[in-house]
Amino acid sequence: MHPHLRPMTPDTIRLGSLGKTARAEIVGLDETGIATPLPAGELERRLIEMGLVEGARIEVLHEGFPRRDPMAVRVNDHTVALRRAEADAVFVQVIEPSA
């Protein structure tokens, strides 16, 4: 198991799968299997610098058109934009599903 990821539960999903207005809590990061041109560990480092850390509350604010990419996410008290492929490295537990 990756050191930045709590044990998976049935209600743990990837941030990239959430839709607009969904709210969740971050439970961990794992860039394993994520397609990125960045060196190993770099995506995870950048996500942490943006505040995407275990325990942070997030809300999906916006989805790009037409393929829902990129997505804008409120993390605690600030907003970040992510590609869905990058968001797939963030694991969350849903608090409130998409409307």
Q: What is the pTM of this model?
A: 0.84
pLDDT in tens, 46-61: 999 999 999 999 999 9
Note if the bond before 97 is cis, omega within 30 degrees: no
pLDDT in tens, 72-86: 999 988 999 999 889
Between CA 47 and CA 29 the distance in angstroms is 8
Q: Are 67 and 17 in contact (CB under 8 A)?
A: no
Q: Domains plus CATH for the chain?
A: 12-96 (2.30.30.90)
SS3 77: coil
Between CA 68 and CA 10 the distance in angstroms is 25
Q: Residue 99 carries which side chain, given as an amino acid letter?
A: A
